[in-house]
Each structure stands twice: as C-alpha cells, then as structure tokens.
Structure 1
Amino acid sequence: MQLQHPYLLFLGDAHDDLAAKTAAGVYQWRPDWCVGQLRLPGCQTTLGLPDMTLEEGRKAGARTLVVGVANRGGVISDTWQETFVNALAQGYDIAAGLHQRLSDVPAVREAAEEHGRLLADVRHPRERFGVGTGEPRSGRRLLAVGTDCSVGKMYATLAIEAEMKKRGMKVDFRATGQTGIFIAGTGVSVDAVVADFISGAVESLAPANEPNHWDIIEGQGSLFHPSFAGVSLGLLHGAQADSLVLCHEPERAHMRGLPQQPLPEIRECMELNLRCAHLTNPKAKFVGICLNTKRMDDAQADRVLKETQDRYGLPACDPVRTGVAAIVDKLG
C-alpha cells in the first residue's frame, strides 16, 4: 500500500488532543509532507498547521486526505462522509486507519469509483501474503520489541531511523501499524494479517537488500501480553532481525488493559525474545534499551537510565530526552 503525499490532515470534530494523536504523530515525523489541517465545527484540538479547506489544500499540493482522528468505535460519522465525498470529487485519495473501512461506506465507495481515486484502509491489508520461509536474506534489520504494548516502539524505531539518516547510512523505516504507515507512506498493519501469514508479511515488508542497508522495523505488542503475543512472535520470525532494541516504561505497573497481569522483568523479556528470534536468525542480539521516562523528572530519569545501562551492559536511552545516538553507535 503506497500513499501519495503531500497530505492534508483531517482532524474532523476531534474533542481533545488524544483523539487526534495519529495526525500529531504524522506531523511530528513527516512535517514536510503536511501542508495543512482540516477541522470541522466543534473540533477542540489543533496541530498548529494552517487551517485549510479542501480547495485550499489542493492548491497547496495535497494529494491525500489523511484521517488523523479516531472517534469512539473507529467509525465514519455522517458528518465526515460529506467531506470525504467532496474530497474525492476534488482529486484527493483518502487514507484512514479506522476499524470501519472507507470502502464499506456506500457514498464514499461510489465517489471513489466515479472519480478513480484510492481509498487506503491501512488497518486492513489488501495484499495476499505467503507463509514465512525463514530463509536467510541479505541486508541488515533491526526490530523493536517490548515488555508491553504502547511503550514507545514506533517512536524508538523512527528516532533510530532519523539518527542513521543523519549519519548518511542506508536505512528505511518499515511500518507495521496504521500510524506508522501514514508516516512511512507504505507498510503492512500486521495485527490485521491472518496469523499464518504474519511472518511472511514481514518478510515481504523487509526483503533482501544491499549488505549495508538497514531496515528498521516497527514492533507491535509483547511476547508477554496474553492478547497480542501472537503478533509479536510473527514479527520476530519474519523480521530475522540482526539487532533488537527493547522498549519499556519503568513506572508501568501492569500490562495495558490487564490489571491482573504484571510486566515482565527486563532480562526475562530479553531472554525470551532472543530465544524466539534465534529460530530465524541465530545471530540476533540486543543492541540497546529504550525507556519511556515521560512521567519522571530529569533527575529521576537520569538515574533510571544509568542504572539500566549498568545492570544490562547496553546503551539505555530515552528517544525524547537523550536521543538514540548511543544505540546507533553499536550498529556500525
């Protein structure tokens, strides 16, 4: 799935900043792709981008209307439909990561067919994937894994990609979730792939490449999360990662959405991920730990990062506070 940019970011009638976090992520990592924002009456958030109508967005060069807002249930409201139909008539493609498909809304589907435009439901892959083979392939790959969901795996991998590009290294970020796909412009939402084909989908996402080229693969879930471990395992096997980065939020008390399920200890998590990764790459190793210290003050964060680095003998970074240069130093 390849998205055309520049983007006009659709914030709709978002009731707070969190509702538009997808749009915020796209703008943070790909500001040069974003020409403006489109807000409907009642919208309670802003990205600080110029407010534009559909017509103004097209004049500014926008090619895709990206639905950067999520509502309860991830559905396309009647209010949004009118905007989407008008956008298609004006030459936009539309990309969304909602649970409800754009193509399942008759008026939107018919407008796309009439005007020959793309409806990109990035949460729902269109491709047909084969099963994974585990066969060795050229190129180098890094995968982020985690002690839990939503601990910063996408942020960590994007920060690593940015640092590597700054150094002139050959590198591509490989997106495996809907926000990551908007940021990369392409990718596979692996949590919507049939289980037998997850590893094959990741193999196709990060195929054989030049020996010194790096694919930085966005991680999903955790091997220790009862709800999502299957996706995490498929990613590990399909990535055949040479390097792994562990992501963790030190102050989190339990698995997201499961108060009765404690987080694993970091070493326990690293050991299990390595055992699983070695099935398709016996040389896989950890090169760093990324901690999400957003709930800590500077002194506390510095102490935790140093303690983690000393305990595990690996660079410990917070991609926001410290950057990830120390991890990239180990990739060489």
Structure 2
Amino acid sequence: MRVAILTHGKFPDRAKTALGILRYGDHEVVALLDRDRAGQRVNDVVSDVQDAPIVDSMADAPDCDALVVGIAPIGGGFDDSWRDDVRTAIEHGCDVVAGLHYFLSDDDEFARLAEECGVDLRDVRNPPDDLTVAEGTAGEVDAQVVLTVGSDCSSGKMTTCYELREAARERGLDAAVVPTGQTGIMISGWGIAIDRVISDFAAGATERLVRQAGNHDILFVEGQGALAHPAYSGVTTAILHGSQPDSLVFCHVAGNEQFGGYPSFDIPPLPEYVELYERMSSSLGGSTVDAGSINTKDLTEQEATVAVTEFGEAIDAPATDPVRHGCDEILDAIL
C-alpha cells in the first residue's frame, strides 16, 4: 500500500508513529507531510529509515492509497490544523488511518465526506466490543513470551520488539511481535490498543492477543507506559499481568532522569525500578528482567558505549542499543 504520513511540526522526535512505519512497516511511503521541513527528504533528517520527500500538505503529495496520521500526541487529540489535509485525502480517494483517541469516524464532516467518496476511516485505537476480564491463561501458550517494559513512555519498547524479532528470525526462530499500541497495529496489521480498553478488560485484552498470536517459538509483547509513571502506570500493569511473560526487557533513554512531560517527577533509580517490575510480576510466574535496551541516539559513539555499559551494570543484565549495536547479546540472555 502506498501511504502519505502526516507529522506537521513533530518530525522526527515527536512523531513516533511515523518513525515506526518508516523503519519497520511494509508500506511504500510516498511523502511525509510536515510544514516545518517541506522541501527536505526523510533521509536528510533520519538516515536509517525508508526515504521519501517531505511536502507542505496533502495537496502536494503523490498519488497514494491512504493518509496516515503519524503523530500520537499526549491525550490522543486531533489538531484542527490537520483538517485540510484529512479532507483533501478523502476527496482524493484515500483512506485515512489514525491512532488517536479522537475517532475520525465520529467526526461528522469526515464521516459524511468518506461515505460520499467511498473511502474508509480506520481508527486503529478503537477496541473490539467483546472484550472480557483476564482468565490467567496467557502462560499456557507454547511460545516463550518476552515483554518490553520501560522507565518512561517513549523509551524504546516497540522498537526493541521489532529489532528483537528480526534478530530472532535471522537465527531461524519463528518470532512475532504482539502489538498493544497504535503504531504496532499499523505496522503489523493487527492488535489491540490497550490504552483505549476499559480498565477491567485491559489485562484480558492483552491475554487475548498473546493467545491469538498463534504458534511461534517466541513472542515479543509490546509494552506501554511505565510502572512508576504518574499518568500511565495502569496500562503497564494490565499488560504485565495479562501477558504473563517469561522474560522482561527493560528499556530506557540515555540521560533521562524525569518523566517526559512531568518534570517534577523523577524516574526512580534503575536498580529499584527493575526490582519493582519483578515484584509486580512475582504473583503470575515471577518473570525477571533478563536484558536491557537503551536509546543512545543523542550520544557520540564513545558516549554510547559508556552509556550501554553503565546501564547494564545498573540493571544487572546484558544491555545494548538495539538500533545502533544490534540485539545479539540481549537475545542470547533472553533465550
């Protein structure tokens, strides 16, 4: 499928969905919509992902099948400055795919226009309506279940899952990612956005995903939020308990000391954080933090090497930057 991705003013640092699709998706990206970078190319900004021209608006994009909203802002709201681009996409016969808490299909203008033009509005954060509470059965799957957990939101949990999947496949293992957020759903084409699920059913939704993933050697479950986060700890706990993982991979961004967007709240010391995750999982099989993943993109190579070493020592487990240095060492520890 040929897609354009909307990121106005947020690419690359605050366009996690766009980066995930560019790095791991099977879609052909024909353009990135970003007014602040129009005239550049994606690889002028980020070198290790699929390249595409950056344009000012949907009217300037090449023909494509869909427009993807590549931003997931805090609270998942819709910015009205995107309205012209969404409208143009629909009028050009493009489906529109979004991972917002604001459902495009509930927008009267977009719904009417989509019906007139015969296109689909896909709100990937909209969960199934038949979810139930967890039964505690995720641990019965034959696959080894590995959950990525983090010190904060946007700490590399999804990226680590896809990097580990590729590393495992290179070794001949049948590996899959279990998507629990909007970006993973857009990449893999299935999943449930757990942060949109009624809290009583969130662990059950995670359990369903693990059981539905099918027969694999190893499943990498995409974590969400962070256990000590002042706003998003609930979804983290639900995924931890619902997936009943065999192993945890702890993810962190080098240098982060406060929760993003909450500067008055310090991230706990990393050894204490690891212990917290392990205590929270102890009643459901006792999974341990067997490896660590650290994002060092803002560091020099020498600084990154030091950061990886210090991070591994802090969490008492093998560690890597999976994008920069690969996953072999931490995959060994998990296996």
* The two structures share one fold, judged by TM-score above 0.5: yes
| Aligned-pair CA distance for 1:318 | 0.8
Number of the residue aligned with 2:48: none
Structure 1 residues 260 and 250: alpha-carbon distance in aligned structure 2, compared to 1, 3 A threshold: same
| Aligned-pair CA distance for 1:124 | 2.9
Structure 1 residues 66 and 211: alpha-carbon distance in aligned structure 2, compared to 1, 3 A threshold: closer
3-state SS of the aligned residue for 1:252? coil
Q: TM-score, normalised by structure 1?
A: 0.84
Letter in 2 for 1:248: H
Letter in 1 for 2:5: F
Letter in 1 for 2:269: E
3-state SS of the aligned residue for 2:3? strand
Number of the residue aligned with 2:308: 305
For the Cα contact (< 8 Å) 2:278–2:286, is it kept in 1? no
Number of the residue aligned with 2:131: 129
Number of the residue aligned with 1:79: 84
1:331 matched to 2:326? The reply is no
Number of the residue aligned with 1:147: 151
Structure 1 residues 284 and 16: alpha-carbon distance in aligned structure 2, compared to 1, 3 A threshold: closer
3-state SS of the aligned residue for 2:63? helix
Letter in 2 for 1:137: E
3-state SS of the aligned residue for 1:241? coil
- Could you tell me how far apart the structure 2 residues matched to 1:232 and 1:70 are? 18
3-state SS of the aligned residue for 2:173? coil
1:24 matched to 2:19? The reply is yes
1:322 matched to 2:317? The reply is no
Q: Choose which of 268, 274, 278 in structure 2 pairs with 1:274.
A: 278
- Could you tell me how far apart the structure 2 residues matched to 1:209 and 1:100 are? 28
Number of the residue aligned with 1:253: 257
- Could you tell me how far apart the structure 1 residues matched to 2:200 and 2:174 are? 31
Number of the residue aligned with 2:5: 10
- Could you tell me how far apart the structure 2 residues matched to 1:297 and 1:318 are? 13
| Aligned-pair CA distance for 1:283 | 4.3
Letter in 2 for 1:109: A
3-state SS of the aligned residue for 1:94? strand
Number of the residue aligned with 2:160: 156
For the Cα contact (< 8 Å) 1:11–1:20, is it kept in 2? no
Number of the residue aligned with 1:3: none
| Aligned-pair CA distance for 1:326 | 0.8
Of stretches 235-244 and 257-266 in structure 1, the one that deviates more from structure 2 is 257-266
Deviations 1:111-151 (A, max 9, x none): 44456543211233244311111123212211111122221
Letter in 1 for 2:122: A
Structure 1 residues 167 and 261: alpha-carbon distance in aligned structure 2, compared to 1, 3 A threshold: same
3-state SS of the aligned residue for 2:283? coil
Q: What percent identity do the matched residue pairs reach? A: 33
For the Cα contact (< 8 Å) 1:23–1:69, is it kept in 2? yes
For the Cα contact (< 8 Å) 1:81–1:107, is it kept in 2? no
For the Cα contact (< 8 Å) 2:89–2:95, is it kept in 1? no
3-state SS of the aligned residue for 1:131? coil
For the Cα contact (< 8 Å) 2:157–2:224, is it kept in 1? yes
Number of the residue aligned with 1:179: 183
For the Cα contact (< 8 Å) 2:155–2:251, is it kept in 1? yes
- Could you tell me how far apart the structure 1 residues matched to 2:227 and 2:202 are? 15
3-state SS of the aligned residue for 1:110? helix
The two structures, once aligned, show a CA RMSD in angstroms of: 2.8
3-state SS of the aligned residue for 1:203? helix
For the Cα contact (< 8 Å) 2:22–2:29, is it kept in 1? no
Of stretches 92-101 and 186-195 in structure 1, the one that deviates more from structure 2 is 92-101
For the Cα contact (< 8 Å) 1:10–1:38, is it kept in 2? yes
Structure 1 residues 216 and 110: alpha-carbon distance in aligned structure 2, compared to 1, 3 A threshold: same
| Aligned-pair CA distance for 1:273 | 1.0
For the Cα contact (< 8 Å) 1:145–1:222, is it kept in 2? yes
- Could you tell me how far apart the structure 2 residues matched to 1:301 and 1:42 are? 29
Letter in 1 for 2:88: T
Q: Choose which of 18, 34, 57 in structure 1 pairs with 2:63.
A: 57
Number of the residue aligned with 2:220: 216
- Could you tell me how far apart the structure 1 residues matched to 2:190 and 2:35 are? 31
Q: Which runs of 5+ in 1 are unaligned?
A: 1-5
